[in-house]
């Protein structure tokens, strides 16, 4: 093998090592403790109880997906901080995906946008969206006689005793209602059939190391 060939083949390896190093550095930065700049409302995981984190508290971000932040406190509690309170941890609130989408031309287009919104909702302990987790059992867009549309969603939880159901429900409702053309939304938590890992998409199983 000539030196030119070695150089061409080693370049992708160097690039891969550089990207891996950048990811490691980003992960290290994410794991650094953050001091809250103000009092911040949060939701305890998995009970779903609201708590107030006082200014000056130290937290560590463990997951940042869908516009919300899962953090651990110095006391070892796992809590969820909403997008609206991102400034308390030195982050900027993310614009909703709906603000970046054009208005739907009809129910068929709106149906896709609703599913896109649902894919921005995450279980605060699992880095896979609720659609790929297989938690959404039903999603239907129905035109209203007076104009606009109603969206009905039925979803479940990975465990019936999880207290985050109402938190996820509120997240889904607000994101769906932010879509142009949606006038009403009904999100319901159901437990029949019970969720099981086989309901996950292949992409989710691969991400979770189940394939």
CATH number at residue 43: 2.30.30.40
Of 44, 66, 89, the residue that ends a domain is 89
Of 66, 89, 112, the residue that ends a domain is 89
Domain assignment of residue 83, given as a range: 3-89
- Please tell me whether residues 203 and 168 are part of one structural domain: yes
CATH number at residue 105: 3.30.300.130
Local structure of 40: helix, strand or coil: strand
- Please tell me whether residues 201 and 113 are part of one structural domain: yes
The residue to which tokens 């208005």 are assigned: 103
- What's the Cα-to-Cα distance from 84 to each of 29, 41, 91, 94, rounded to whole Å? 22, 10, 10, 8
- Please tell me whether residues 82 and 116 are part of one structural domain: no
- What's the Cα-to-Cα distance from 105 to each of 110, 149, 153, rounded to whole Å? 7, 12, 21
- Please tell me whether residues 119 and 168 are part of one structural domain: yes
- Please tell me whether residues 23 and 60 are part of one structural domain: yes
- Please tell me whether residues 111 and 148 are part of one structural domain: yes
Are 142 and 152 in contact by the 8 Å Cβ rule? The answer is yes
- Please tell me whether residues 123 and 177 are part of one structural domain: yes
- Please tell me whether residues 193 and 123 are part of one structural domain: yes
| Six token digits for residue 65 | 């997906």
| Six token digits for residue 103 | 């208005």
Residue 33: φ, ψ to 5°: -60, 145
DSSP-assigned beta bridge partners for residue 59: 34, 73
Closest listed residue to residue 208, CA positions, set 193, 194, 197, 195 = 197
Q: Angle, to 10 degrees, between the axis of helix 107-118 and the axis of helix 165-177?
A: 140
Number of domains in the chain: 2
- Please tell me whether residues 79 and 152 are part of one structural domain: no
- Please tell me whether residues 142 and 185 are part of one structural domain: yes
pLDDT by position in tens, the chain (length 211): 444 444 444 444 454 445 444 443 443 345 789 999 999 999 999 999 999 999 999 999 999 998 899 999 999 999 999 999 999 999 988 765 555 454 444 555 899 999 999 999 999 989 999 999 999 999 999 999 999 999 999 999 999 888 999 999 999 999 999 998 999 999 999 999 999 999 999 999 998 888 7
- Please tell me whether residues 70 and 102 are part of one structural domain: no
- Please tell me whether residues 84 and 148 are part of one structural domain: no
């Amino acid at each position: 093998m000539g030196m030119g060939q070695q150089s061409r083949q080693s370049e992708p390896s160097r690039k891969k090592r550089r990207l891996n190093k950048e990811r490691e550095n980003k992960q290290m930065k994410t794991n650094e403790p953050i001091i809250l700049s103000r009092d911040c409302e949060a939701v305890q995981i998995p009970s779903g109880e609201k708590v107030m984190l006082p200014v000056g508290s130290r937290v560590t971000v463990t997951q940042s997906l869908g516009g919300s932040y899962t953090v651990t406190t110095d006391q070892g509690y796992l809590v969820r901080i909403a997008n609206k309170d991102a400034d308390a941890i030195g982050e900027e609130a993310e614009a909703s995906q709906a603000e970046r989408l054009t208005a739907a031309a009809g129910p068929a287009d709106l149906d896709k946008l609703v599913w896109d919104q649902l894919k921005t909702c995450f279980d605060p302990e699992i880095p896979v969206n609720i659609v790929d987790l297989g938690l959404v059992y039903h999603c239907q867009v129905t035109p209203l006689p007076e104009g606009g549309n109603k969206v009905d969603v039925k979803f479940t939880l990975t465990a019936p005793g999880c207290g985050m159901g109402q938190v996820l429900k509120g997240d889904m409702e607000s994101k769906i209602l932010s879509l142009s053309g949606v006038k009403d939304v009904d999100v319901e938590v159901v437990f029949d059939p019970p969720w099981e890992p086989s309901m996950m998409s292949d992409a989710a199983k691969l991400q979770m190391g189940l394939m």
